Chain A
Amino acid sequence: MSTAAIIGSVSGVAMTVVGVWGGQYLIEQRTAGVVWKTITALLLIGASAVGILITVPRLPIVNESIRNLFFHVPMWFSMIMVLLVSVWYSIRYLREPSERLDVLAHESAKSGIVLGLLGLATGSVWAKFTWGAWWTPDPRLNGAAVAMLIYGAYLVLRGSFRDEQQRARVSAIYNIFAFAAAIPLLFVLPRLSGPSLHPGQTGNPGFNQYDLDNTMRQVFYPAVIGWILFAFWLTQVTSRFAFLKLKHDEN
């Protein structure tokens, strides 16, 4: 492992931690948060528009469809981020149970599902035009499907309780357990299983760091930040709505 790789992974971990902390802060924010929401909107609109308009390097197989990098990949990044936030809320719930933390964990997981479905949809359309099939048995695609199934199971589990505290505790446990048992492997398995059609994998031009030229990078990173902020925004709105519903039911 080279020094650059070590620095890269350490800064990746640091950014993830900052993201999870910042995400909690933004989701639970009491004020309107005009500034960061404006930035989010500008980043999303800007990155999408520029992503469609700029000239991109022509690589075999992917061709113009390389623009999906500005949509598909940031969606997965933001899904992982908001799911991490959800797991962190579940851990906090187990340490000191409160209805609030349960609602926040649930709503973050739901945002993660929305972004995961968006990621699947963009990936599937891309695959249809590049590989000629909506779905292929590729390790990454399987991993994405597994992640969706896990969170589907999470919702089913939540639905099968009548007692609210019981539901909150047990679903927090499942959330943590499923995340720890399956999600890390979804990153490991594609690396173990060898050849793959997915861009960035062996024998395929794609979005890995060597192919990513500088202009693309300047659009890609803002898009990632924009989508992650969007996930937090979405969670903030839905959790505020859930709190209002709770309050309404109490009265």
Chain B
Amino acid sequence: MRPETEPAPVPLLREISTLLAKDFRLEWRQRAALGGLLLYVGSTVFVCFLSFSLRGGTPPPPAWNALLWVILLFAAINAVAKGFMQESPGQRLYYYTLVRPQAVILAKMLYNALLLTVVALLGLFLYTVFLGNPIQNPGLFVANLLLGAVGFATTLTLVSGIAAKAGGNGATLMAVLGFPIMVPMLLLLIKVSKNALDGLDWSVSQSAVLTLVALNMIVGATSYLLFPFLWRG
């Protein structure tokens, strides 16, 4: 990847931390985008609250659960979509001369994971404020939520890279490409989160949680291996 003339290659971790710092700085400079995302989550939750208040009160737990994950899924698509798409081809070429592609994908996945964690926690907070809190096992629920945020981030990062290459209407293409891949993950997440809502013991959800962790690792490793090919073009 790197030219031979370079005296000493910069360690991967340093490249990642530099890229991560760059992403945070960019995000901070374009606060409107971040604000838009948070407002998106907030207004969706509020719309749900209004729709349910027509029938008086909070939704039953299964609907509560399904709705939360749908909101988070769409928020995740919107949050991750802007990552690669806001970069111009020239910018990409510039990074290409500076860092390894592995650093780019790892930094982006890390950044998206942090971003989605914030979005998920904020979403859950607003959601419980407006639509009630039927969770009986909060520890498992939040752990599952974090696992979901990280899983969404790892899956969608490479998908957003792919969609950015295709150009045009990125967010639509991202949804088309991303949803089928995420369905198995979503099924597991919703199942564990239902167990947490019902206050079932941790041992009931153990195998599903372990599968989720394994799935995150598979997706992360595949992205790491495939991204250099995506970047080369």
Residues of A participating in the B interface, judged by any CB pair closer than 8 Å: 94, 139, 142-143, 146, 149-150, 152-153, 156-157, 160-161, 165-166, 169-170, 172-174, 176-178, 180-182, 184-186, 188-189, 192-193
Q: Which of B158, B188, B207 contacts A177 (CB 8 A)?
A: B158
A149 touching B184, Cβ below 8 Å: no
Q: List residues of chain A with CB within 8 A of the CB of B82.
A: none
A177 touching B180, Cβ below 8 Å: no
Residues of B participating in the A interface, judged by any CB pair closer than 8 Å: 155, 158-159, 162, 165-168, 173, 176-177, 179-181, 183-185, 187-188, 191, 207-208, 211, 215, 218-219, 222-223, 226, 229-230, 232-233
Q: Is the interface of B mostly helix, strand, loop or mixed?
A: helix
**Which of A143, A161, A170, A172 counts the most B-chain CB atoms under 10 A from its CB?**
A170
Q: A153-B176, A156-B177, A189-B187 are in contact. List 6 more A-B contacts (CB 8 A).
A: A153-B177, A166-B165, A173-B229, A173-B230, A182-B183, A193-B187
A146 touching B183, Cβ below 8 Å: yes
B222 touching A177, Cβ below 8 Å: yes
Q: List residues of chain B with CB within 8 A of the CB of A143.
A: 184
| A-B contact number at CB 8 A | 94
Q: Which of B158, B177, B215 contacts A157 (CB 8 A)?
A: B177
Given contacts A188-B211, A189-B187, A192-B211, contact A149 B180 (CB under 8 A): yes
Q: Which of B168, B222, B230 contacts A180 (CB 8 A)?
A: B222
Q: Which of B165, B167, B184, B211 contacts A146 (CB 8 A)?
A: B184
B191 touching A193, Cβ below 8 Å: yes
The chain A residue with its CB closest to the CB of B165 is: A170
B165 touching A181, Cβ below 8 Å: no
Closest approach, in angstroms, between the C-beta of A47 and any C-beta of chain B? 32
The chain A residue with its CB closest to the CB of B219 is: A181
A181 touching B166, Cβ below 8 Å: no
Q: List residues of chain A with CB within 8 A of the CB of B165.
A: 166, 170
The chain A residue with its CB closest to the CB of B208 is: A192
Q: List residues of chain A with CB within 8 A of the CB of B230.
A: 169-170, 173
Cα of A143 to Cα of B159 in the assembled complex, Å: 20
Q: Which of A94, A150, A166, A188 contacts B180 (CB 8 A)?
A: A150
A174 touching B184, Cβ below 8 Å: no
Cα of A173 to Cα of B105 in the assembled complex, Å: 14
B207 touching A192, Cβ below 8 Å: yes
Supply 16 A–B pairs (Cβ within 8 Å), ascending by A: A142-B187, A146-B184, A149-B179, A161-B166, A166-B165, A170-B165, A173-B158, A176-B222, A177-B158, A177-B159, A181-B222, A186-B184, A189-B184, A189-B187, A192-B188, A192-B208
Closest approach, in angstroms, between the C-beta of B144 and any C-beta of chain A? 15
Cα of A143 to Cα of B183 in the assembled complex, Å: 9
A176 touching B184, Cβ below 8 Å: no
Closest approach, in angstroms, between the C-beta of A175 and any C-beta of chain B? 10
A182 touching B177, Cβ below 8 Å: no
Q: List residues of chain A with CB within 8 A of the CB of B188.
A: 189, 192
Cα of A170 to Cα of B222 in the assembled complex, Å: 14
Closest approach, in angstroms, between the C-beta of A58 and any C-beta of chain B? 35
Cα of A5 to Cα of B45 in the assembled complex, Å: 50
Q: List residues of chain A with CB within 8 A of the CB of B168.
A: 160
B226 touching A177, Cβ below 8 Å: yes
Closest approach, in angstroms, between the C-beta of B189 and any C-beta of chain A? 12
Cα of A156 to Cα of B222 in the assembled complex, Å: 22
